Structures are given as structure tokens and as C-alpha cells.
Amino acid sequence: MEELLAWYGRVARDLPWRRTRDPYAILVSEVMLQQTQVARVIERYEAWLVRWPTADALAAATLAEVLTEWVGLGYNRRAKALWEAARIVSESGWPDDLTRLPGVGPYTAAAVGSFAFGRDALAVDTNARRVYSRWGFTPPTGSAALNQAVMELGATVCQAHVARCDACPIDDCASRGMAVVRAPRTPRVRFEDTDRFARGRVLAALAGREPWPDSLSAERRARAIDALVADGLVIREGAHTRLA
């Protein structure tokens, strides 16, 4: 893997979460990056850490404050899980088994363990899984440097839709020059027509970040509110609704 690590040393993007080993800051980045593009996350991540620089600071916030700050990142249950995890860490410290924290699955636990605590843990996100599949093997364990390098390779070179084998530092890849590249899928339903879009607009309005979405039908707004209540993000109080 020496050639991969040397390549990473030359081309690695300067991302703010790569400049720290603070487990809280790394957890924030990992949660924000779930299903959200890096370019969208950078500014929000930095603003978040200015407002809540520690797990203790986040734990002291209200859920409504956290949800309001999260508006625009999508998948708002992530914000609630991050807040709940911060409250556990603030009260009891970091558990040895990081999957005990809300919203932390095997990948996030491996990433935080590797990048913050220096554990030998293979962090396999979507990019890494694709790279290992094309290589034809998966290392039994991984250092922080290896994990970062593989993720970088998958994000910038060994991509799902464009496999740039000519720019890859791995000469003995089993799929070199033969990677099956998938055509981008055409969404069958516009995002604006999905329940997730409606939930996002309703929550943003309740947070005071957007006007009330009158363009949505009453049925869609009601369904969105029901879902937000079920997720514990919104509370009904008689005829009124507010952030939890």
C-alpha cells in the first residue's frame, strides 16, 4: 500500500476534519457527511464547531436549537442522534464501543476510532467498499492513513460513474482498465415531489429559516408533520406545532 499512501500524501484535499484528532469534531464531520456532499458540509461543519466546539457545549443546547442549525443539511434525524450522542459523552465519556452512541453504526464507529483514537479499524464507507470490490480484496485492518487514502481514491479517482484508472496509483488492481462504470441513474420522482422534501420545508419553516410552505398541499404538509412528530423532531400542542 506504499504507493497508495504516497499518492495520498501528494493529492489529499485539505479538509478541516483532517486537521484534528478530536473525537467530537470527527463525529460531527462523519454525521454531516452521511449522504451529503463534501462541498456542502465544509462551511456548515466549521460554523457548527464555532457555535458548539465541544460535546459538552452541544449537550447543553436544546434540540430545537440543534435542529435550527441543521436546516439545509437534510436527514434531520441525524441532528437529533448527534445531540443525543453528545449528551451521553458529556455525562459518561466516550464508550469503548462507539456503536453504543445514537446514530453511530459500524462504519462511523470505525472512522471515529481510527481517526480520533488511533485504532486499527477498517472504515468502509461507500467509496471504500467500491475500491475494495474493484481491487478484488479487502485488507483485514486499517490505519487512519490507509482509511483516508482509500476514501480519497474512491471519492476522486475510482468513482462510481467515472473510473479514472489512468490516474490510479494501484498498478495491480484486479479491475484496472476493466472497471464496470454505471451510468448515472435518472431519478424517477423529482426530489421536490418527495415526502423528504416536504418534511425539510416544514421543519425549516418551524425553525424560522424559511416561509411556511403554502405551495405544498395540505395533505403533504400534514403527512410531513406526522412524520416529524414520529421522529421526535416536532411537538404538537393543540392546534400548534413547534420544534421539539
Catalytic residue among 2, 30, 219, 237: 30
Beta bridge partners of 234: 243
Distance CA 149, CA 6 (A): 9
H or E segment to which residue 55 belongs: helix 55-59
Select from 8, 22, 28, 34 the least CA-distant residue to 126: 34
Q: Catalytic annotation on 3?
A: no
Looking only at Cα atoms, what is the longest distance across the chain? 65
- The single-letter code of the amino acid at 28 is V
Q: In sequence order, which ranges of 95-238 are alpha helices (DSSP H)?
A: 106-117, 126-135, 144-156, 195-206, 218-230
Residues belonging to the active site: 30
